[in-house]
Structure 1
């Protein structure tokens, strides 16, 4: 064999290029993690610029511009933490992808906040503290401290994957900063009692409504011999109920002008429900063609109402929870510019818009972290159960928004999930319809066998994970005192530095 000439030249160019490409890959990986915080900072700057356009020539403009940045930061934290309530059930049931869910939530959050967010904003800005007893300058700094404290607490909770209540955080922060500044005298304890009662009853109401809806779905559709025929009959009815309830709520938003009587509101809701039923019938029939008579086929037929209920819930969340960000900002704007805060005064439109856009930016950038906890880890959700969760949460939040009560959407959503899970446990063991259905469809099934060795295991196994229940309850309990104490400390720091 001929001698091969030894290669004496090192291929340093290839090695150097490989190193450069590795550095580029590492830089891309790091920049990917920094992209979301960077976009968030850009949004904060735009919020300050947006606020400056409206108040630059007024007294207290600097304080209002700083408060706008804090409100935008708070709104982004709300979007990041509370997006689980809107689309967690739908994503957990695999009716929507993560991207589809985030886009739908962002659009309807903005609509809900700008169209129907004013009533709850007024409660946060002027009803928790008696603004007559608090000097305007002091009130502005109280609300500043409340915004900082609530935003920091929610940011920490999101980082720890804990779906805490943003409503609890801001209400606790307003009370804590107010007590730290002027004592407990200006706190409107009657309003606080109403809010606390709503906090306690709303998750129970959401759970009961969700369980009732699931009972109807199981009775009318799932445990029927011809499931597809039953679904063709009743799924349009469920869609009509959803459309009618939402239409009535939208009319109630206009009822403050006194143009609509309760009878007119009811008739409009029924008319919208009838129109929704007429439109939904052919759509459901088209989806049902060729489907087998199995539970898995029902997942397809429930995707349309589930997407609608998720959009409705996003609207309701925007209407209620935008107040947690812009309620204090509205109070700061009024106090800094010398305007009197009135319980029935409308907040400025640009204030609502900052909150609406902030919630959407937050859920798009940071929202997916908590979606799987509510959507997948508490109890197993399919499209039918997820629809019951989303619709019950939406109706409960809509009712509270109409009454002006800043309820916790997190409370209600998680309460609905647990309501579905606990109802399934009860229904699995006690439903006579289910027992008859299973006996009729399965020859080998025997529930009455006392000697069945697996019966003890069946009884021991639960459909709801109690560990998540206790963790979430603990996070709820600690939120109000923690945010109140943090707000009081932040106010004292601000008082020492700026006042």
Structure 2
């Protein structure tokens, strides 16, 4: 019974992850008016699923990190109650944010839940040093890096465009092809890369909670979680999608492409090296960098998003600690 509850909890987390995160990769496509919502979410679903499947081969380090290994004693990791508390604490936090349209980080929620459950379970035996170095540092640094790089990249691309005469006419062309069409194609490709990298980075984090169920192969766990994530995105992504697409900054196709390129580069690199960065933080950071250059950033919305980020970790920690204590009493 307890293992079934763990599986259901992981599925709930996967669903809420898809609902809050799946549209983020294609938010610039929708925001720049390149495509409609339905086509954008379908493209996001397809490319996210591809990233999730690829995680089977490239993201084993993330699976290990999010199982709790190194943070708490090994005997606690083998407890289904520990994993259920993490999954439910994070899922409730992400689900609540999704309902109000706030793009928060599932990664941040999981880190908070790991902390809350771990401290409730073992107290001072919790490895605070690993929490800071392996989890918190990448989460704090990544949006700052994304903002800086997207700002620099956009200014560089703008300068290069001005140096090419054929791009500064009423009907701009590049090697004889309409440059807006080339840019739209690159924009689609970049949004697919972001969604792919998100699937690559997020799926292993949820699968890490299932490794104590030895009867389920990790490969099949990755695929099953990927399917549930896809459903969450298809059914419940619209509110967060509108926030990401329309309320952070106004953008054109070139600006959206630049933000996507930086996001995809950073998240893919982090996934391969086992660093638990947040696609949400990186993506919002990239969009903010563009908004600073164009002077179209919506600071009020960005302020609300940052506040939700600050609250994510403590709320997830409290929720997971409550779940753990409740299960402990009931069991």
> What is the aligned partner in structure 2 of residue 369 from structure 1?
239
1:306 counterpart residue number: 187
| Equivalent of residue 120 in structure 2, options 154, 157, 180 | 180
For 1:144 and 1:120, locate their aligned partners in 2 and report how far apart those are by CA, in whole Å. Answer: 18
Provide the secondary structure at the position in 1 that maps to 2:74: coil
2:213 pairs with one of 306, 325, 333: 333
- The counterpart of 1:122, out of the listed 64, 85, 109, is 64
TM-fit CA distance, 1:383: 0.3
Matched residues in 1 for 2:70 and 2:22: separation? 26
Mapping for residues 465-480 of structure 1, pairs under 5 Å? 465-480=298-313
Question: Is 1:484 matched up with 2:317?
Answer: yes
- TM-score, normalised relative to structure 2: 0.92
Aligned to 1:74: 13
- Render the CA deviation track for 1:279-338: whole Å, top value 9, x for unaligned: xx6xxx44x1xxxxxxxxx543311000000111111000111134222122x325xx6x
- Which residue of 2 is the match for residue 395 of structure 1? 265
Residues 321 and 151 of structure 1: CA distance in aligned 2, closer, same or farther (over 3 Å): same
1:114 deviates by: 1.7
3-state secondary structure, aligned to 1:125: coil
Q: Distance in 2 between matches of 1:348 and 1:198?
A: 25
1:134 aligns with 2:73: no
Per-residue CA deviations over 1:209-267 (Å, capped at 9, x if unaligned) read 2122211221111575531689755xxxxxxxxxxxxxxxxxxxxxxxxxxxxxxxxxx
**Secondary structure of 1:350 counterpart:** helix
What is the CA–CA distance in structure 2 between the aligned matches of 1:185 and 1:112, rounded to whole Å?
Answer: 35
Does the Cα contact within 8 Å between 1:128 and 1:191 map onto a contact in 2? no
Inter-CA distance 232–121: structure 2 relative to 1 (3 Å threshold) = farther
Is the 1:175–1:187 contact (alpha carbons within 8 Å) kept by the matching residues of 2? no
Q: For 1:473 and 1:127, how far apart are their aligned partners in 2? A: 29
How many residues align? The count is 327
Supply the distance in 2 between the matched residues of 1:136 and 1:387 (Cα, whole angstroms). 44
Please give the root-mean-square deviation of Cα atoms over the aligned residues, in Å: 2.2
| Cα displacement (A) at 1:110 | 1.3
- The TM-score with structure 1 as length reference comes to 0.62
Match of 1:104 in 2: 43
How far apart, in 2, do the equivalents of 1:410 and 1:136 lie? 30
d(CA) in 2 for partners of 1:191, 1:171: 8
Does residue 1:378 correspond to 2:248, yes or no? yes
Residues 103 and 84 (structure 1), Cα distance of their counterparts in 2 relative to 1, 3 Å cut: closer
The answer to whether the 8 A contact 1:128-1:187 is kept is yes
Which of the numbers 79, 86, 92 marks the counterpart of 1:152?
Answer: 92
Name the CA distance, whole Å, in 1 between partners of 2:46 and 2:61: 20
Contact 1:320–1:401, Cα closer than 8 Å, also in 2: yes
Within 5 Å, give how 1:207-218 maps onto structure 2: 207-218=147-158
Question: For the Cα contact (< 8 Å) 1:178–1:184, is it kept in 2?
Answer: no
Matched, 1:416 2:297: no
Residues in 2 aligned to 1:135 and 1:404: alpha-carbon distance in whole angstroms? 19
The residue number in structure 2 matching 1:407 is 277
* Counterparts of 2:18 and 2:168, CA distance in 1: 38
| Alpha carbons 2:14, 2:228 under 8 Å: kept | yes
Contact 2:90 / 2:320 at 8 angstroms: preserved in 1?
Answer: yes
Superposition deviation, residue 70 in structure 1: 1.5
The alpha-carbon distance between structure 1 residues 87 and 128, as it changes in their structure 2 partners (threshold 3 A), is farther
What runs of 5+ residues in structure 2 fail to find an aligned partner?
A: none
3-state secondary structure, aligned to 2:206: helix
Alignment of 1:176-255 (within 5 A): 176-187=116-127, 189-221=129-161, 225-227=165-167, 232-233=173-174
User: Secondary structure at 1:183's aligned position in 2?
Assistant: helix
Structure 1 position 382, deviation (Å):
0.6
The alignment status of 1:93 with 2:93, answered yes or no, reads no
Worse overlay, 123-132 or 108-117:
123-132
Find 2:83's aligned residue among 143, 148, 164.
Answer: 143
Indicate how the Cα distance of structure 1 residues 66 and 143 shifts in structure 2: closer, same or farther if over 3 A, else same: same
Distance 1:402 1:156 in 2: 30
Q: Report SS of the residue matched to 2:124.
A: coil
Give 1:355's match in structure 2, choosing from 218, 225, 233. Answer: 225
Structure with higher RCO (Cα < 8 A, 6+ apart): 2
Query: Is the 1:113–1:352 contact (alpha carbons within 8 Å) kept by the matching residues of 2?
Result: yes
Instruction: Name the CA distance, whole Å, in 1 between partners of 2:209 and 2:330.
Output: 21
Residue 63 (structure 1) aligns with: 2
Which residue in the other structure is 1:497 paired with? 330
